[in-house]
């Protein structure tokens, strides 16, 4: 296996430059880079760090930023909606959008390298919107809408605020043009989701009157939003909007990034791509159909590749929690006082020699073979965080990632040079984008 040379020479990342800069997390914040300490924090401190307050005007009390007491009751209600049995029902939607992606990529078979993330993001947006709110957006064919532009602007401003100290205090932020821009654009996104929520509530109420069964009118599957009506908690329209916005925001760019990183890695490591392809051929022969639940269960090697990709390129590189009671960290040997913050360096843990042996920067999917995993600390691999406040969409995310990669790899041979330098925003990005070259596979 070849080394990812450029990233191996990135000593700044594992030591978390963010802490050094002091720009993201001010005050009493302890960086944590050991799985045992991470486990203690993530099991005991379920409240989010104050740094996420910047997301409040947008996501309100949606699951991602909900204060811990509210989070407890709401997470219980949302959990069954993300159960495997339910999300597997969406495999048809995923396969359909994977087909569109494969078709859209055809125009890129001109031998030139291109940034694949944009294409993948349009695809995951279509999947996440249709499954979360029952809306067909068709971003893959019409990527430029007022809603998407507004959403993009809000994210840009939030990223600026997280990384520029002077934009953090409200009194200073409110003096900049960003404050107005943020307000206006948040308004646009709220309006969009509010309308969807109203529409679906009406459909739900009409259906109740007619006493129809679970299925939607034209035999359409119920979306996540539809499944949140008439539950143990009667959510208000605002609460529903906050949950749905949180889900579409937490679920989209993350999933797209994992797919894009994995495509680049497969382009760099031709031997791994060949093995993935062989596994696909064993499952599908030369068929181009979308993946079923049974197919996905057989993609063991692809799954190891995806895990190795999430380890090396941890798309959520840091996880920040509020320490709400004094806790003792066994490895550091310090007691963190209530009221301080903890930053779990997931990226750093994923590249630690103590956990992964002498060559942590080397791409080696077989690290995730069962016989090489069972001695590993349970919090050593935490792409979806760890403990009861981990990612609620992790199974759904894995289904999307596997299904899309399966379709793309069966249609195209991928080539790539190198990922190059990285930059940390809320998520982890390569500075030069996810550059790949593709050519049609002839079957």
Smallest separation (angstroms) from ligand HEM to the CB of 253: 9
Which residues are 328's β-sheet partners? 335
Bridge partners for 413 per DSSP: 439
Please name which of 378, 303, 379 lies closest in space to residue 348, comparing C-alpha atoms.
Answer: 379
Query: Which one of the spans 4-12, 149-157, 248-256, 360-368 is the region binding ligand HEM (CB under 6 A)?
Result: 248-256
Site map 112..131 versus ligand HEM, x via CB under 6 A: ----------------x---
Question: Applying CB under 6 A, does 61 fall inside the site for ligand HEM?
Answer: no
Query: Is residue 64 a contact point for ligand HEM (CB under 6 A)?
Result: yes
Sign of torsion, CA 416 400 396 85? negative
Per-residue burial over 257-272, b if 16 or more Cβ lie within 10 Å, else e, is bbbbbbbbbbbbbeeb
Judged by CB, which is closer to ligand HEM: 44, or 109?
44
Asked if 255 touches ligand HEM (CB under 6 A), the answer is yes
Binding residue for ligand HEM (CB under 6 A) from 101, 197, 240, 250? Answer: 250
Instruction: Name the strand (E) or helix (H) holding 242.
Output: helix 237-268
Q: Verify binding: residue 246, ligand HEM, rule CB under 6 A.
A: yes
Given 134, 360, 365, 393, the residue binding ligand HEM (CB under 6 A) = 393
* Region from 29-37, 207-215, 253-261, 328-336 binding ligand HEM, contact rule CB under 6 A: 253-261
Residues contacting ligand HEM: total by CB under 6 A = 23
Residue from 262, 385, 403, 435 that binds ligand HEM (CB under 6 A)?
Answer: 385
Within residues 406-425, the interface with ligand HEM by CB under 6 A covers none
| DSSP assignments along 373-417, one per residue | HTTS-TTS--TT--STTS-TTHHHHHHHHHHHHHHHHHHEEEE--
Q: In this chain, which of 35, 267, 345, 383 binds ligand HEM, going by CB under 6 A?
A: 383
CA-based nearest residue to 203, from 183, 176, 175, 222: 222
Of 150-158, 242-250, 332-340, 429-437: span binding ligand HEM (CB under 6 A): 242-250
Among 32, 93, 157, 391, binds ligand HEM (CB under 6 A): 391
- DSSP-derived secondary structure for 8-68: HT-TTTTT-HHHHHTSSS-SSEEEE--HHHHHHHHHH--SBPGGGGGGHHHHTT-TTT--H
Q: Residue 330 carries which DSSP code?
A: T
Span of 20-28, 194-202, 205-213, 252-260 interacting with ligand HEM by CB under 6 A: 252-260
- Contact, 59 vs 371, CB < 8 A? no
User: Which helix (H) or strand (E) segment is 296 a member of?
Assistant: helix 293-297
Two tokens, residue 420? 């190059």
DSSP state string for 136-186 = ---TTT----HHHHHHHHHHHHHHHHHH-GGG-SHHHHTTSHHHHHHHHHH
Q: Which residue is nearest to ligand HEM (CB)?
A: 393
Q: Rule CB under 6 A: choose which of 190, 269, 350, 389 binds ligand HEM.
A: 389
Indicate whether 312 belongs to the interface with ligand HEM (CB under 6 A): no
Q: Which is nearest to 3 in space by CA: 316, 361, 315, 248? A: 361
Q: Which residue, 209, 199, 158, is CA-closest to 179? A: 158
Is residue 391 a known part of a binding site? yes
Q: Can residue 7 be called a binding residue for ligand HEM (CB under 6 A)?
A: no
> Binding of ligand HEM at residue 254 (CB under 6 A)?
yes
Query: Does position 426 bind ligand HEM by CB under 6 A?
Result: no
Q: Mark residues 73-112: x for contact with ligand HEM by CB under 6 A, - for none.
A: --x-------------------------------------
Of 16, 40, 45, 63, which lies in the binding site for ligand HEM, with binding defined by CB under 6 A? 63
Residues near 127 by beta carbon (within 8 Å), at least 6 away in sequence: 90, 93, 94, 97, 400
Phi then psi for residue 139, to 5 deg, are -60, -30
Out of 14, 31, 222, 251, the only residue in the binding site for ligand HEM (CB under 6 A) is: 251
Asked if 384 is part of the footprint of ligand HEM (rule: CB under 6 A), the reply reads yes
Q: Which of 319, 327, 329, 436 binds ligand HEM (CB under 6 A)?
A: 319
Q: Which is nearer to ligand HEM, 368 or 396 (CB)?
A: 396
Question: Which parts are annotated binding residues?
Answer: 391
Question: Which parts are annotated binding residues for heme?
Answer: 391
Positions that interact with ligand HEM (CB under 6 A): 63-64, 75, 128, 246-247, 250-251, 254-255, 258, 315-316, 319, 383-385, 389, 391-393, 396-397
């Amino acid at each position: 296996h070849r080394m990812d040379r450029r990233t191996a020479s990135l000593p700044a990342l594992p030591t978390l430059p963010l802490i050094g800069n002091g720009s993201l997390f001010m005050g009493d914040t302890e960086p944590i880079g050991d799985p045992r300490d991470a486990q203690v924090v993530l099991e005991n401190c379920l409240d989010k760090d104050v740094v996420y307050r910047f997301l409040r005007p947008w996501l309100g009390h949606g699951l991602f930023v909900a204060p811990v007491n509210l989070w407890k009751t709401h997470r219980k209600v949302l959990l069954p909606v993300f159960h495997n049995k339910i999300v597997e029902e969406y495999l048809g939607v995923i396969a359909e959008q994977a087909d569109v992606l494969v078709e859209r990529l055809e125009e890129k078979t001109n031998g030139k390298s291109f940034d694949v993330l944009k294409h993948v993001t349009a695809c995951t947006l279509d999947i996440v919107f249709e499954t979360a709110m029952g809306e067909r957006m068709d971003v893959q064919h019409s990527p430029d809408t007022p809603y998407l532009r507004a959403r993009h602007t809000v994210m840009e401003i939030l990223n600026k605020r997280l990384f520029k100290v002077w934009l953090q205090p409200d009194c200073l932020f409110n003096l900049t043009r960003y404050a107005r821009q943020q307000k206006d654009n948040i308004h646009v996104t709220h309006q969009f989701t509010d309308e969807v929520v109203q529409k679906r509530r009406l459909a739900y109420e009409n259906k109740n009157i007619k006493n129809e069964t679970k299925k939607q009118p034209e035999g359409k599957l119920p979306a996540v939003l539809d499944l949140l009506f008439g539950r143990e908690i009667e959510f208000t329209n605002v609460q529903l909007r906050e949950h749905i916005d949180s889900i579409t925001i937490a679920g989209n760019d993350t999933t797209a990034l994992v797919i894009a990183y994995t495509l680049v890695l497969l382009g760099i490591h031709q031997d791994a791509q060949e093995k993935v392809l062989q596994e696909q051929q064993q499952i599908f022969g030369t068929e181009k159909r979308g993946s079923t639940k049974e197919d996905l269960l057989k993609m063991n090697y692809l799954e190891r590749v995806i895990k190795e990709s999430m380890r090396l390129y941890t798309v959520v590189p840091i996880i920040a929690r509020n320490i709400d009671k004094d806790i003792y960290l066994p490895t550091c040997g310090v007691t963190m006082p209530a009221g301080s913050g903890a930053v779990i360096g997931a990226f750093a843990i994923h590249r630690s020699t103590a956990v992964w042996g002498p060559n942590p920067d080397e791409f080696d999917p077989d690290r995730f073979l069962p016989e090489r995993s069972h001695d590993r600390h349970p919090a050593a691999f935490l792409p979806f965080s760890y403990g009861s406040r981990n990612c609620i969409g992790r199974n759904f995310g894995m289904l999307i990632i596997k299904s899309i990669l399966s379709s793309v790899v069966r249609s195209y041979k991928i080539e790539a040079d190198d990922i190059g330098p990285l930059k940390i925003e809320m998520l982890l990005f390569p500075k030069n984008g996810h550059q790949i070259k593709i050519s049609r596979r002839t079957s």
